[in-house]
């Protein structure tokens, strides 16, 4: 079994420099066929699509915990990774664990969980957070347009992530928490993970303005620059943007990507990587002003297949996990560069409640060639191939 990495992550205010030494505890090597983390000099970063913990997802975890395949309860002991309390998300995430655990730093997306504590999604949240941590994720982007629908959703979600030892970015319980820059240690580098979301307008009536980080160009650039001052070697943005159920970014998104990647301080780019979400479908990877942009990872785990205008859309289970290898600058004060860019096609099977690594599943006989080809076409559709993007085996 791969032992999950444990990283010392510092939450520093944007006006303070990093002052603590961090180290990674020992962890097992990658599974066969997976890329090993770079040793000593650089680091690998993986980033997966959004987990949307709706009732159907929680119900599947309940069945896995109970051992009752008919979903009628069973012993309800919830054993296994991410188990206890009647829900086990470990089997759902098992296929992605080798890739996630092998990386120096792993990022996920998690929509804040709203609703009453008696509802499945809210009741299972602690177990979901523990399963994400056990899978190997280090930090979750939580800024989402729906985060303010229910004021209880943000504190509930952040409490669960804290209890599981997961860092988070994009939402806050206090003004002071909103002003902090999450820094994570990735090999020899400090990585800032920042998260923002668009379209807060009509949803912002019940919570203070600092509860969710709004996707405003000036605010994002200011946050990236503050992260640099706080000691970040690499600044990563998780952005909740774009139109739902489209496999290509819209003009607003591509224009914003150009402006954000063009922002520089002292000749050095303020942003080193952009990870987009909220489109529900995989979208293009591309290099903009020399910076990698993932326009949309898709939903890693979602509630179903209801697409635009309520139409059934089976592409809703498709997503990618991005993997980037960073190498240190040639001289002090320079930029950490991406030396290798990859994507792994994934599919969440609604019937089995399992996340599948598509290429591995095809090798084992699964009829997913069409899924693989759709994901591949979307990911490579933004000039990524010309910039060196490849699909991992």
More confident residue, 1 or 53: 53
Strands 337-349 and 354-357: antiparallel
**Does the pLDDT value for residue 263 go beyond 50?**
yes
pLDDT in tens, 66-83: 875 433 333 333 334 444
pLDDT reported for residue 201: 58
pLDDT for 355 equals 95
The mean pLDDT of 362-366, rounded to a whole number, is 96
Give the CATH number for residue 240: 3.60.21.10
In a domain, 242, yes or no: yes
225-235 pLDDT per residue, tens: 999 999 999 99
pLDDT at 285 over 90: yes
Higher pLDDT, 211 or 205: 211
The percentage of residues in the chain with a pLDDT greater than 70, rounded to a whole number, is 80
Whether 48 shows a pLDDT value over 70: the answer reads yes
| Per-residue confidence (pLDDT) for residue 177, from 0 to 100 | 96
The pTM of this model reads 0.86
10 pLDDT above the threshold of 50: no
Residues forming a β-bridge with 105: 45
| Lowest mean pLDDT, pick from 53-62, 184-193, 291-300 | 53-62
Structure tokens at 354: 């399992």
Residue 184 bridge partners (DSSP): 9, 191
| pLDDT at residue number 203 | 52
Neighbouring residues of 87: CB distance < 8 A, sequence distance ≥ 6: 58, 61, 62, 64, 65, 78, 123, 124, 127, 128
pLDDT recorded at residue 313: 65
Q: Give the per-residue pLDDT at 310.
A: 52
Q: Is residue 13 part of a domain?
A: no
- Give dist(CA 9, CA 104) in Å, integer: 12
- Map tokens 């990093």 to a residue: 18
**For residues 13-39, average pLDDT:** 35
* Contact partners, residue 196, CB within 8 Å, separation at least 6: 143, 170, 213, 214, 215, 216, 219, 220, 223, 237, 238, 239, 240
pLDDT tops 50 at residue 179 = yes
Q: Find, among 135, 113, 107, the residue nearest to 126 by Cα.
A: 113
pLDDT at 169: 97
Please tell me the predicted confidence (pLDDT) of residue 205: 55
pLDDT of residue 221: 97
Instruction: Say what percent of the chain tops pLDDT 90.
Output: 64
3-state secondary structure 202-241: HHCCCCCCCCECECCHHHHHHHHHHHHHCCCCEEEEEEEC
Residue 68 lies in a domain: yes
Q: How far apart are CA 168 and CA 11, in angstroms?
A: 10
Residue 275 lies in a domain: yes
Domain membership of residue 372 (yes or no) is: yes
Average pLDDT of the chain, as a whole number: 83
Question: How many domains does the chain divide into?
Answer: 1
Confidence class of residue 136 from pLDDT cuts 50, 70 and 90?
very high
Cβ-proximal residues to 76 (8 Å cutoff; 6+ apart), any chain: 62, 65, 66, 86
Q: Is residue 244 part of a domain?
A: yes
Domain that holds residue 69: 31-391
Say yes or no to pLDDT of 340 above 60: yes
Lowest mean pLDDT among 138-142, 242-246, 383-387: 242-246
**pLDDT band with cut points at 50, 70 and 90 for residue 350:** confident
Instruction: Identify the band that residue 6 occupies on the pLDDT scale cut at 50, 70 and 90.
Output: very low
When mean pLDDT is compared across 17-26, 48-57, 161-170, 265-274, the lowest value belongs to 17-26
Nearest by Cα to 82 from 160, 194, 1, 167: 160
pLDDT band at 152 (very low <50, low <70, confident <90, very high): confident
Residue 97 lies in a domain: yes
pLDDT, one tens digit per residue, over 313-324 is 667 789 999 999
Question: How confident is the model at residue 147, as a pLDDT?
Answer: 81
- Which two structure tokens, joined as six digits, stand for 100? 């996630």
Residue 268 lies in a domain: yes
What is the per-residue pLDDT for 370?
94
175 pLDDT higher than 60: yes
Higher per-residue confidence, 165 vs 6 = 165
**What confidence category does residue 303 fall into, taking pLDDT thresholds of 50, 70 and 90?**
low
């Amino acid at each position: 079994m791969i032992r999950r990495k444990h990283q010392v992550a510092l939450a520093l205010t944007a006006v303070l420099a990093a002052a603590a030494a961090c180290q990674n505890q020992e962890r097992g090597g990658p599974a066969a066929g997976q890329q090993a983390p770079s040793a000593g000099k650089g680091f690998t970063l993986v980033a997966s699509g959004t987990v949307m913990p709706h009732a159907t997802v929680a119900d599947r975890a309940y069945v896995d915990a109970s051992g009752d395949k008919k979903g009628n309860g069973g012993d309800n002991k919830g054993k296994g990774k991410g188990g206890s309390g009647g829900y086990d998300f470990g089997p759902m995430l098992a296929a992605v664990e080798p890739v996630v655990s092998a990386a120096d730093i792993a990022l996920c997306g998690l929509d804040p969980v709203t609703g009453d504590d008696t509802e499945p999604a809210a009741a299972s949240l602690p177990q979901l957070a523990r399963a994400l941590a056990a899978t190997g994720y280090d930090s979750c982007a939580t800024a989402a347009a729906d985060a303010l629908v229910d004021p209880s959703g943000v504190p509930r979600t952040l409490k669960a992530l804290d209890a599981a030892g997961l860092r988070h970015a994009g939402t806050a319980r206090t003004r002071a928490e909103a002003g902090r820059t999450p820094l994570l240690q990735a090999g020899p580098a400090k990585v800032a993970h920042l998260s923002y979301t668009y379209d807060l307008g009509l949803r912002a009536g019940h919570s203070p303005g600092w509860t969710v980080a709004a996707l405003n160009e000036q605010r994002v650039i200011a946050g990236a620059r503050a992260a640099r001052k706080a000691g970040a070697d690499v600044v990563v943005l998780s952005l909740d943007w774009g139109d739902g159920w489209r496999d290509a970014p819209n003009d607003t998104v591509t224009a914003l990507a150009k402006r954000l990647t063009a922002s520089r301080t002292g000749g050095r780019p303020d942003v080193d990587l952009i990870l987009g979400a909220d489109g529900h479908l995989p979208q293009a990877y591309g290099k903009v002003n020399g910076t990698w942009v993932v326009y949309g990872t898709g939903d890693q785990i979602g509630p179903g297949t209801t697409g635009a205008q309520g139409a059934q859309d089976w592409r809703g289970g498709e997503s990618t996990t991005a993997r980037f290898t960073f190498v240190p600058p040639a001289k002090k004060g320079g930029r950490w560069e991406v030396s290798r860019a990859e994507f792994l096609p994934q599919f969440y099977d609604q019937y089995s409640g399992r996340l599948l690594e598509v290429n591995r599943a095809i090798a084992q006989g699964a009829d997913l060639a069409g899924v693989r080809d759709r994901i591949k076409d979307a990911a490579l559709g933004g000039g990524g191939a010309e910039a060196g993007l490849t699909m991992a085996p």
